[in-house]
């Protein structure tokens, strides 16, 4: 080999080695971020201001927990730590947004055994998610396990139902609909006996249901299901978002012509590889404020 050929090959070899080192370092960094995001549980806070909210409820703190996905990769012990974290926030109201299990409804009982310890003076309420109806490979499809587990835990399960929460003679409406993909959500029972002066809060596991709402019927909707994309490109674009509307309902505050939706990243994971990337698990806290304008903001 000539001296000229050797001189030409050396810079190329250095470039390949440098490129390999950069790719390897990037892979390690991404893996580290994925591990951290999978186990990091952030508290995401929002404020909802509404002229329909009675002054008696001003300052009410709501905690939304959704998509726990209790299963092979999310133990009962982790659910217990989640409950302790929520209780430490001292919420006035706890709302559970569905998908308590992943990998079979056999995990419902152990999940709700821990959720039974949630504490909130205005109550604890839940809706079902798609996985609570049973996965395709489950031996016991259907929501019966979740219904029984929620009942045993003393947590009302709202399936196209609503309750009035009262405080010092004032009241607000809190409702929940059946899962959008596995059942038939119905708004009529939620808004029965309400008018434009009432503050109406709705839980729907799947945020896509917001597109079916009539304008003005619901002041605020709370959802999960999309996991913030779970695996994203630096938090700005989800590789797989289970929504008919693409990235629109991936995470955070979404306003359409009918209402405003807060979409939580949720807590657990739902892939064969239980990893999150730039979409950390979330406990969502919403502080209600009575004011002259309608606004939802971080």
120-130: pLDDT as tens digits: 999 999 999 99
pLDDT of residue 32: 39
Q: Which of 75, 116, 65, 62 is nearest to 296 (CA)?
A: 62
Measure the CA–CA gap between 200 and 191, rounded to whole angstroms.
Answer: 8
User: What would you measure as the largest C-alpha separation in the chain, in angstroms?
Assistant: 95
Q: How far is CA 235 from the centre of its chain?
A: 16
pLDDT of residue 135: 79
Between residues 202 and 136, the one the model is more confident about: 202
Q: Lowest mean pLDDT: which of 31-45, 78-92, 235-249?
A: 31-45
Q: Which range has the top average pLDDT, 24-38, 144-158, 262-276?
A: 144-158
pLDDT score of 76 more than 70:
yes
Measure the CA–CA gap between 235 and 228, rounded to whole angstroms.
Answer: 8
Asked if residues 83 and 115 have their Cβ atoms less than 8 Å apart, the reply is: yes
- What percentage of the chain carries pLDDT values higher than 70? 84
Mean pLDDT computed over every residue of the chain: 89
HSE at residue 222, side-chain half, CA atoms within 13 A, is 30
The model's pTM: 0.88
131-181: pLDDT as tens digits: 999 976 556 668 999 999 999 999 999 999 999 999 999 999 999 999 999
Helix locations, the chain, DSSP H: 3-39, 76-88, 108-115, 144-153, 188-191
β-bridge mates for residue 101, sequence order: 70
pLDDT of residue 71: 95
């Amino acid at each position: 080999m000539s001296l000229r050929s050797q001189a030409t090959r050396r810079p190329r070899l250095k470039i390949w080695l440098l490129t390999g080192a950069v790719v390897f370092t990037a892979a390690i960094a991404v893996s580290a971020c994925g591990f951290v995001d999978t186990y990091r549980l952030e508290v995401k806070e929002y404020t909802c201001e509404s002229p329909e909210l009675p002054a008696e409820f001003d300052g009410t703190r709501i905690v939304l927990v959704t998509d726990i996905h209790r299963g092979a990769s999310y133990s009962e012990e982790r659910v217990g730590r989640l409950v302790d974290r929520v209780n430490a926030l001292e919420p006035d109201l706890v709302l559970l947004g569905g998908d308590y299990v992943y990998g079979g409804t056999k995990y419902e009982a152990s999940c709700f055994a821990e959720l039974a310890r949630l504490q909130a003076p205005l109550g604890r309420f839940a809706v079902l998610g798609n996985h609570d109806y049973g996965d395709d490979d489950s031996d016991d499809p259907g929501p019966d396990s979740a219904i029984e587990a929620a009942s045993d835990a003393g947590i009302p399960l709202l399936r196209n139902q609503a309750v009035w929460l009262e405080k010092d003679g004032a009241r607000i409406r809190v409702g929940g609909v059946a899962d959008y993909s596995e059942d038939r959500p119905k708004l009529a029972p939620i808004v029965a006996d309400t008018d434009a002066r009432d503050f109406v809060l709705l839980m729907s596991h799947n945020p896509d249901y917001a597109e079916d709402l009539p304008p003005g019927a619901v002041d605020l909707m709370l959802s999960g299901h999309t996991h913030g994309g779970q695996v994203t490109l630096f938090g700005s674009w989800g590789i797989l978002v289970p929504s008919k509307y693409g990235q629109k309902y991936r995470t955070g505050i979404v306003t359409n012509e009918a209402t405003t939706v807060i979409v939580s990243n949720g807590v657990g994971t739902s892939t064969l590889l239980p990893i999150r990337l730039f979409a950390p698990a979330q406990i969502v806290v919403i502080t209600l404020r009575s004011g002259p304008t309608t606004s939802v903001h971080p």
